[in-house]
Structure formats: C-alpha cells, structure tokens
Amino acid sequence: MRKPATVREDERTVVDFACVGDVKGSIQGFASNEFGVFASGRVTLTGPVERETTTNRDGFFAFDDVPPGNYVVGLCADPGRVSVRQGSVAFVTVDCS
C-alpha cells in the first residue's frame, strides 16, 4: 500500500512505517561433543514448524525463515530450547558431551 507524504522546503517530516504480515526469524547454533566440535551432526527442529539440517565442519547450523515461537533443537540426549521472535536471530548451543 502506498500513502503520500508531503514535505515542504526547509521542513522535516517523520513518516512511520508499520510492518504487517508474516515476519519470520532464524535460529543459529553451535554443537559440540566430548571431542570438540560436532561436525556432520543431524539437527532436528521441532515447534511451530519442523525442519532438519546438518552441522558443518565447525559444528555450526542454522534454520532460516522460522515463524515466531518456542522450539526444541534436537541433536543428542539433552536437546536445546530456544524462542524465536519476529525478525530476530535466536542463538542456541547444544553440548552433547
């Protein structure tokens, strides 16, 4: 939707923008085990949406375009828990030692 905003010469005008709709966030994380980083680990995401990914060689993983809500990040016996807010990045560390 477009709305006009008129600004006269030598004036300043504040224009507020509202973001409406489905604003998603993301989850980034790091996994480790008793040997250091947990490379090539299968990570599951359970919550408002369910997804799966694999850790890279540095133990890093990410889930993008995640709707806001509470999630469980599964990789080992003690899963990580994280909350995602609209438009934000949530970080979680999973220790599988």
pLDDT tens for 12-36 read 767 666 655 567 999 999 999 999 9
- Interval 44-59 mean pLDDT: 96
Asked if 66 and 49 touch (Cβ cutoff 8 Å), the reply is yes
Asked if 55 and 76 touch (Cβ cutoff 8 Å), the reply is no
pLDDT tens for 52-81 read 999 999 999 999 999 999 999 999 888 899
Q: Regarding the domain with residue range 25-95, which homologous superfamily does it belong to in the CATH classification?
A: Immunoglobulins (2.60.40.10)
Instruction: Enter the pTM of the model.
Output: 0.75
Residue ranges per domain, the chain? Answer: 25-95
Let me know the angle formed at the C-alpha of 28 by 51 and 21, rounded to the nearest 5 degrees: 70
Give 1's pLDDT tier (boundaries 50, 70, 90).
Answer: low
Let me know the angle formed at the C-alpha of 41 by 38 and 45, rounded to the nearest 5 degrees: 115
* Lookup: tokens for 16: 């507020």
Dist. CA 26–CA 21, nearest whole Å? 16
